[in-house]
Chain A
Amino acid sequence: MTTCAEWEEEYLESLAAGSGPSLEVLAHMESCPQCHLLLQKDRQIHDALKEGVRVVPPPAALKSRVLSSIQTSPSAPQLHVMTEGSSPARSSRQLHRGSILIARLAAAAVILLASGISAVNLARSSSVTNAAVALQLPGEPVTYGIVQVHPASGIAYLANASLPAPTPIEGHASEYELWYIPSGGVPIPKGALVEGPDGQWHGAVRYPVQGSGLIAITVEPAPGTMKPTSLPIAAARV
């Protein structure tokens, strides 16, 4: 190092690293009249920046959405789906009933949308939007969650869904399963809602940015099904 500028750069780097200046750097800056003036001022500015430049905590719900998006990522190794007949929890009668319900699922979701009470339509929004969505379990009072849709990314998040633990189906564990139903297409399983530490349920659905369709939630035998076996408890158009 030959110039005072280079000595100062070394000094500033040592401050940022928290290691303190080397003896060589300190020796120069203490003995050089020009650099000596900078020692204290640079230190003061450094201390103020270290104290003042801080991380802004993200909203608490963001973590659930991030984790849900990972869970439903195409590359996730633990997708909550299975092939027909691979579940010991499902009888052939259930499978038959499930195939019949495929068509009924979309129709029921549309009916939910048409009711205007228990569903939400976000299809006309072009920016990120949040909407309340009603959740209607059979025989239970209506509860609500938040649907956040990112049209540019093709991601819809369900957050803070106030739901009870899913009721077992014929003695077997069940779960809340998400579906994307492209217009004119068959339901595509999109993983399960996960329960957050606050007891609320969260999930994410990726859908084609250029496409249109419905997002729906059904109660299915764990660890999920490839085809719906029950009617939706909520739906949203994206």
Chain B
Amino acid sequence: MSEVDVVRSSSMADEHVIEQAPQSGTGELDALAAALRDGQPSAVEGIYDEYGGLVYTIALRFLDSPERAEELVQEVFLAMWERRASFDPMRGTLKSWLCTMVRSRALDMLRADRRRPRPAYSLDSADGDRPAMEIPDPSRASDPAAVVETRAVLSALDILPDDQRETIELMYLAGLSHSELSGVLGIPLGTVKGRVRLAFAKLRQHLGIHLEVES
């Protein structure tokens, strides 16, 4: 028996950073959530279009592996479908629910293989040939100073403790409020506020000279 050679799909490494898609209106998201609860499969496509990138990015951030991130995205959306009856819009948004699921399952996967979480935003990618996050190029920007500042801040995220960095990343990646972050992370609201403040203090300290010059 001659086995067909296993080939790697080039799409697996097809990773680019794009502008975040404009968020659908609240009414449209409510309709999607209602359709999901009603068991309409078509709702899944709309939800994926809205949040697939977010779920994938969070998965990638935790797992640092496009293949495993894809696997996790599939698991999360399948779990969303199979547990759709348990989604309660009064307890949180669909986005928060998805963030909670992907985070929880990613942590389970990491615990299972005892790997330490790696930040997807690290400037030094794990495999050396795949930047986990695109760093803006000042030479091609309309506002080079702003790009330099963005580069500096993104670089500085790596100095934050894991809990503060995760909080900041989820806050800006998902656009979650502090209350929503409290639910997703499973920590008190005051702890979220404290983490954000401490993270900003560390970023200010780290970037102090740079920001003084810029200002």
Identity of the chain A residue whose Cβ is nearest the Cβ of B76 in the assembled complex: A66
Identity of the chain B residue whose Cβ is nearest the Cβ of A130 in the assembled complex: B9
Q: Is B133 interfacial (CB-CB < 8 Å)?
A: yes
B48, A67: Cβ atoms closer than 8 Å: yes
Identity of the chain B residue whose Cβ is nearest the Cβ of A121 in the assembled complex: B3
Inter-chain contact count A-B, CB under 8 Å? 198
Residues of A within 8 A of B207 (CB): 45
Q: Mark B158-174, 1 if CB is under 8 A from A, else 0.
A: 00000000001101110
A56, B203: Cβ atoms closer than 8 Å: no
Residues of B within 8 A of A23 (CB): none
Bound complex: CA A150 to CA B146 (Å)? 43
Nearest chain B CB to A89 CB, angstrom units: 23
B82, A73: Cβ atoms closer than 8 Å: yes
Q: Is A9 interfacial (CB-CB < 8 Å)?
A: yes
Which chain A residues numbered 141 to 196 have a C-beta less than 8 Å away from chain B? 146, 148, 150, 152-153, 155
Q: Is B90 interfacial (CB-CB < 8 Å)?
A: no
Interface size on B, residues (CB 8 A): 74
B1, A62: Cβ atoms closer than 8 Å: no
Q: Which of A8, A52, A119, A128 contacts B197 (CB 8 A)?
A: A8
A41, B8: Cβ atoms closer than 8 Å: no
Nearest chain A CB to B138 CB, angstrom units: 13
The interface of chain A, by Cβ under 8 A from chain B, is 5, 8-9, 12-13, 16-17, 38, 40-42, 44-45, 47-63, 65-67, 69-71, 73-78, 113-114, 116-117, 119-122, 125, 128-134, 146, 148, 150, 152-153, 155
The interface of chain B, by Cβ under 8 A from chain A, is 1-9, 11-12, 14-21, 39, 41, 44-45, 48-49, 52-54, 56-57, 60, 66-71, 73-75, 77-78, 81-82, 120-121, 133-134, 136, 146, 149-154, 168-169, 171-173, 177-178, 193-194, 196-197, 200, 203-204, 207, 211, 214-215
Besides the known contacts A66-B78, A120-B4, 5 further A-B residue pairs in the complex with CB atoms under 8 A apart: A49-B168, A61-B11, A119-B4, A131-B6, A131-B7
